[in-house]
Amino acid sequence: MIRTPLIQRVSQALARGSGVRESFEAQLSRFLDLVEQAVLTGDTAWIEPILFDWAKAPTETDLEQGQYHVAFLMNRIISLTIEVAREMLDEREALELIATVTPVYTYGLEMVTRYEMETRVAHITSEMSTLHQKMEQLNRSKSSFISVAAHELKTPLTLIEGYSAMMTDLALSAQQAGMGELLEGVNTGIIRLRQIVDDIIDVSLIDNQLLALNLQPLQIGQLLNLLGGELRGSIDARKQLFEIKDFEGSRAWIYADPGRVHQALGNILSNAIKFTPDEGRITVDGRALPGFLEVTITDTGIGISLEDQALIFEKFGQLGRAELHSSGKTKFKGGGPGLGLAIARGIVQAHGGSLWVESKGYDEQALYGCTFHILLPSRTGPDDARFARLFENLESKTETYGQEENRTDHPTA
């Protein structure tokens, strides 16, 4: 007798909007059907399935804010049932109805309170586990940074100290003829040290989403040819075969940051040179895809194991002991701070693209090699609407924090 008015009263009190109210009323009608079955059979378990579904369906926002919506709903159903019964039934009928449904309602309220609490505890446990994993990762990164920084900064600093000592001796003995060569050595050490420091700054900008992009028209093919010329000395020294193919889209004009794309591709190419043995082959190819331009860099190097293919893109990623490798940008299996590929990935992702690697595995005899895939959006203008949202967050953070200061490689990048 009070079923329809009760559904309407609860729906009007709790549901907003006709579409939401219609769905809510259907759920409420199902709930009351189960309440009737529980009353007729004397088994309160009839209402468990629907309340379990309600209690197990909170949003992440609800969980984070500690909201308990189903317990609130049950309390409102109880209070509105009493209210409607008093309005539409005489006193005896109202008391009988309330006395009949109260045990079922009470059981339901206890059940959803328990379910919601369990869900909340599970959410907090998951959050704590995630936080614990992040803290462990942070501690590992800090330890790796100390180890790598100590090793990598030691090489250029030792170089500077050595040449400085020799220059001092020459100056004292008035033998000035070799001073230019020694000063060049000092400059080499300074440049290497600056590169390491610049890489650390870039990683910091990427981590804080403050990497500013200066979008300009560019041709990927032209940029690749420029990089090929810059790396020619290292390639020739290693007696490697280097080929840049004229692929579809390589001559198309797209909007990107030339400096940053040059940096990203340069890091990946340097990585390929470093982990490809002498007389190996490095091939640059690509293709045009709907909305994107893909560049592939394939080498015949030592490859990388499947389990390490994600690690190489993490900052300070080192797959070997830092103190056991030599430092160098293109020396075979040369070491580094482990930032090159992390920076490359951050730059590509800042453009709205993607970077990943494929390799059958790591083997210095079989030389499985690997292929890096660089996917860049083929933006046709600086105000391309597809990318407007991508940079909104970056621009707001840049305004807040101020102006910019400015490897998946193999064992290290």
Q: How far is CA 190 from the centre of its chain?
A: 33
| pLDDT tens track for 318-356 | 554 444 444 555 667 766 677 899 999 999 999 999 999
Angle formed at CA 405 by CA 399 and CA 409, multiple of 5 degrees:
110
User: In sequence order, what DSSP letters do the residues of 356-388 get, joined into one string?
Assistant: EEE-S---TTT---EEEEEEEE---STT-GGGH
CB of 63 closer than 8 Å to CB of 119? yes
The answer to whether 350 and 213 are in contact (CB under 8 A) is: yes
| pLDDT at 61 (0 to 100) | 46
pLDDT tens track for 44-89: 889 888 888 777 665 444 434 444 477 788 888 888 888 888 888 8
CA neighbor of 342 nearest in space, from 263, 407, 410: 407
Strand partners, 218: 254
Q: Please name the residue ranges forming H helices in 15-90.
A: 18-41, 48-55, 60-65, 69-88
* pTM attached to this predicted model: 0.55
End-to-end CA, the chain = 76
Q: Which of 140-149, 154-163, 287-296 has the highest mean pLDDT?
A: 287-296
Average pLDDT, the chain: 80
Cα separation, 210 vs 203, whole angstroms: 10
Nearest partner of 123 among 54, 56, 170, 69, judged by Cα: 56
